[in-house]
Structure 1
Amino acid sequence: MKRIAIVGFGLIGGSLSLALRRNAGVHVTAIDRAPVLARAEAKSAADELLPLDDAEAMKVALERSDITVLAVPVSTIVRLVPWSLSHAPVVTDCGSTKREIAQTAAAEPRGTWFVPGHPMAGLPDGGIENARGDLFEGRTWILCPEYADPAARIAVAEMVTLTGAHLVELSPEAHDRAVAVTSHLPQLLASSLFTLAEDQQARVAMGPAFERATRGAGGLDSMWTDIFETNADEVARAAEALSRELSQVAASLRRSPPDVQAALGVLAKARARRHRG
């Protein structure tokens, strides 16, 4: 019997539980606030439910677990790393940035038993009520086991495999650099594009392309505060690089006559690289 304790039972934590419990011999303990646990119980999303205010029961649950997963915001993960490592044999997380979390774990006596992780999956609406057992199927799940004990890495990798996700390993630095481009910047762009359409009263003409491009507009301040505080340099670098690319397109189209071929070059470069895989 594999015992998994999940701290934070929203969309990611709940989906992880549903995915793992499709496999025989997996027991999941959900740890969160009482209202969240009530919704989890209604979905039969876990085998055991523990409220956050029951410190002794949580301690026992972590000690009995094979793996404890911190599926909470990055700032909360950083705060919980020392506590979780003092009780759980192996700990991983689902935070959207990795450098600060990895540095915090490395400073702990049992830091090698922490395996930083990030499932590249989500939905427009969060919460346990939207959790799905197939959320991770075919998606990338990044682990950053640079300083992890090999046994801890293997244990977490096996858990990830049970969800149907595709495992990728990166350093914390490479992770934060990559997700600034593939996750953080696209969501910022979605928000900027949505606001631009509002300011120019252009939403009356929106179609499927606009809807797809702005699906991630908005977002929770709590999540974005963590991203901006822990990945500011990489998000800024990505935004500046894109701004340079768009500025070049704008400059080519302002010429008289417009340099259409230069603008088309952006599309051609993307097509070539996309087909190259």
Structure 2
Amino acid sequence: MKRLILTYNQSCNLNCKFCYIDFHHKKIEDKTISIVEQAIQLGFDIITFGGGDSFSKRDFREACKIAHQNHLFTHVDTNTLSINESDFKFIEENIDLLGVSIDAIGDYYNLFRDSHRLFQKLNHTLQQLEKYNIEIKVNTILTAQNINSIPDIFEYISTFKNIKRWSIYQFSPLSSAKKFEDIYKISDSDFEQTLKFVNTSNTDLIIEKNRYANRVDGYIFCDEEGNLYTNNINGKYLPLGSIFNEEDIKNVFSKNILINPKIKKRYT
């Protein structure tokens, strides 16, 4: 089982200080479609479109169609800002799992992500998606700043029948996020204590509690130019070559030590 995480590193339509992606804002050649075609040739089973909001990228929708038509399990993460009314049917037909970000509820979410009316757009999108056969997972970054929002998020997402999975991630002091570590860092004990209630909650949700230390190794990323990289416990990104270079691919994906076993069968 091979999973490729395609991360848009050029830009994002939000500017969240706790985000671990260091957007470079340089002019580039977006090779998203070629990367998906390469992933198909290399026998990948799962592709995740993440990073800067996928729906804001020019070639994303076509690349997503190609991935789905060629039987890759297609997972897309989004903050929902760039989802249009015409995208709801597109999502139903081409995306196996839609991940949406929810780190707080109401106006506090807008403040947390420094975006006017973001929660209102998110809420409208989720309400519309209930009309379609779409499986949704919620992504929550748990930090010292939204530690009290977890019960409210749980109550909110429990009202949607098509939200099947809740992935809660401990703040990751990677790359650009390290500059704000003092503000957002949450200890392992506080992370576990905050999430204790989910162990006894009466719910059919699949709830994933993702500690930073358990996620830092074995995730292979590819940016929209085809550059492969991973990260380490010290908060640095490590280059691994190019998805278009056969030797680099062989070195990266033939060594199980580089692939986190927890993600191999995550969505199967």
Q: Quick check: which one's strand share is greater?
A: 2
Higher-helix-fraction structure? 1
**Structure with greater Cα Rg:** 1
- TM-score in terms of structure 2 length: 0.32
The TM-score with structure 1 as length reference comes to 0.31
Greater relative CO (CA pairs within 8 A, separation 6+):
2
